[in-house]
Amino acid sequence: MNIPNGNASYACGSFLLIVKEKNEQAFQLAKIIKTWLEENKRIATIIPAFLPEEQLLEHTKSHDIAVILGGDGTILGVSRRMYTNPLPLIGINFGKVGFLADISPENWQECFAKLLAGEYKVQKVTPLHFEHIRNTAVIRSGIAMNDVVISRGAMAKSIFIKLRVDDIFITDLHCDGLICSSPLGTTAYTASAHGPLTFPTLDAHILTPISPFAGSFSPLVMPKESTIRITSLDDRETFITVDGQDSHEVLMGDSICVQSAEHKIALLVSDTRWFWKRLRERGFILPGPGKYTIS
């Protein structure tokens, strides 16, 4: 599919409505939207968000846009699984924060009218690609939209890890963990660990230590060409977690390699300044004392 670059507008004829599981309100709205789209001479298909990846990809081949009715977690999970055959996507918020969702359930019709009129813009974001290596063999690999985190397990103990960037030794860390984030994901765990907020379309990835005890560095913003390699140095319970959803055990001597993914994911946005507005609206940036006039 030829998706325009930058802030170009995007018109679409067929919609894939992907609904958060066990959310009756989202499902009922999907049915209403499907009827409305068909009345406006568009094709619309409703599927559940938990479809196996192979079935999801079959649907993406025959549609122009994915509309995800759910929260940020649903948007992340679906976009990660459709990475090999992605559609431009937009979210309708049925979650708690809804940072990634451009549409609220209350104003969907106004927004869809603008979509059909080609008034929405495309912004492309770069996910992360990771490999879990054990004894020189890749035992697991995949895509992360937000972040790849190596951290301690259930016990409240720190971990020991070695960090290399582009095969250059950086430091040994005694810490609670290390966050490798995409620009899109800096408002998630990275923000909680006092990492930088970065605009989602930047070609970069970010490293942020979690509560370092011995060995430390300020959060690093690196070009997309850089490769991060994290090696576990002890036998404490350690895990790799992808987008806060998938988690796997890391053994002593295992390495996690992270870099920017090869392909980008296209987001449809009504306003290319959406990131700045949501930082303020969702409380990521708080005003100081005094009176303010928002215009």
Helix H or strand E segment including 15: strand 14-19
3-state secondary structure of 73: helix
Nearest to 108 by CA among 23, 34, 8: 34
Q: What is the distance between the alpha carbons of residues 115 and 237, in angstroms, rounded to a whole number?
A: 48
What residues are paired with 232 via a beta bridge? 161
In which residue are the tokens 């649903």 written? 74
Judging by beta carbons within 10 Å of its beta carbon (0-12, 13-18, 19+), is residue 227 exposed, middle or buried?
middle
HEC sequence for 52-97: CHHHHHHHHCCCCEEEEEECHHHHHHHHHHCCCCCCCEEEEECCCC
Nearest to 245 by CA among 145, 176, 134: 145
Helix H or strand E segment including 144: strand 137-144
Q: Which residues are marked as active site?
A: 72
